[in-house]
């Protein structure tokens, strides 16, 4: 299932909607132990009407990562806003099911982890799919091929061995492109977005959709 990411830029830097951006907003709002409301999050997101924000807050509460600690006073016809406190601070955005249980790590993240840590000397798409798979998540070779193709096109990979006949291409992650722990995202506009550096690699569009390769 794909997640819609609407992009806009502020000083040349893209601002996302989606759980990674919502989580970064929550971390920023709660520095020093401050509480926040959904309205506070809305002010820093591209689309305040995005129902995904409410859904994600609900999942975080069910996981015990957020706690509801009260409501603001009602104002006119506006109901009192729920007040949240961050209980567990995580570097990366928690990926949760609706009941608050931990969701499996996405295939892109598994492949990025594998490129950075296990296959630093080079890999084929088949090797990447094999080593990235877990007991919970199967990574099809075609998925690995697609991710490799897009990362190579965005300048993340060095070709060590070209594909000739039945011999597959072999790639290695460029050391200069090991930007951080978060996997670069593929956007339907054929842009690769790196959440570690907030950089777009490829032709940028104002509205883009993240896709599973």
DSSP three-state, residue 56: helix
The residue to which tokens 């896709």 are assigned: 211
Q: What is the model's pLDDT at position 204?
A: 43
Q: Which option is the CATH number for 3-86: 3.90.550, 1.10.3470, 1.10.1740, 1.10.10? A: 1.10.10
Q: What is the model's pLDDT at position 117?
A: 93
Fold agreement (3-86, 107-210): yes
Contact 171, 126 (CB under 8 A): no
Q: What is the model's pLDDT at position 180?
A: 87
Q: What is the model's pLDDT at position 206?
A: 39
Locate the domains of the chain by residue range: 3-86, 107-210
Q: What is the model's pLDDT at position 17?
A: 57
Q: What is the model's pLDDT at position 57?
A: 96
Q: What is the model's pLDDT at position 189?
A: 53
Report d(CA 26, CA 18) in Å as an integer: 12
Q: What is the model's pLDDT at position 15?
A: 46
Looking at beta carbons, which pairs linking 11-18 to residues 24 or more positions away fall under 8 Å?
13/198, 14/193, 14/198, 14/200, 14/204, 15/45, 15/46, 16/46, 16/193, 16/195, 17/45, 17/46, 17/47, 17/50, 17/52, 18/52, 18/210
Which of 116, 93, 117 has its CA nearest to residue 105? 93
Residues of the chain with pLDDT under 50: 1-15, 204-209, 211-213
Q: What is the model's pLDDT at position 186?
A: 75
Q: What is the model's pLDDT at position 55?
A: 92
The CATH class of 107-210 is mainly alpha
Q: What is the model's pLDDT at position 78?
A: 77
């Amino acid at each position: 299932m794909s997640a819609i990411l609407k992009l806009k830029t502020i000083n040349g830097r893209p601002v996302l909607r989606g759980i990674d951006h919502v989580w970064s907003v929550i971390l920023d709002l709660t520095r020093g132990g401050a509480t926040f409301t959904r309205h506070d999050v809305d002010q820093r997101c591209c689309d305040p009407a995005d129902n995904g924000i409410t859904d994600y807050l609900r999942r975080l509460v069910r996981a015990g990562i957020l706690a509801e600690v009260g409501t603001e006073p009602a104002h006119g016809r506006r109901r009192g806003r729920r007040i949240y406190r961050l209980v567990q601070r995580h570097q990366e955005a928690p990926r949760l099911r609706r009941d608050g249980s931990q969701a499996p790590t996405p295939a892109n993240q598994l492949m990025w982890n594998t490129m950075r840590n296990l296959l630093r000397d080079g890999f084929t798409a088949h090797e990447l799919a094999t080593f990235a798979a877990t007991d919970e998540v199967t990574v099809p070779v075609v998925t690995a091929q697609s991710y490799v193709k897009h990362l190579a096109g965005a300048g993340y990979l060095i070709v060590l061995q070209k594909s000739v006949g039945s011999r597959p291409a072999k790639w290695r992650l460029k050391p200069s492109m090991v930007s951080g722990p978060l996997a670069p995202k593929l956007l339907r506009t054929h842009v690769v977005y790196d959440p570690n550096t907030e950089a777009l690699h490829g032709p940028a569009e104002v509205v883009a959709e993240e896709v599973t390769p």
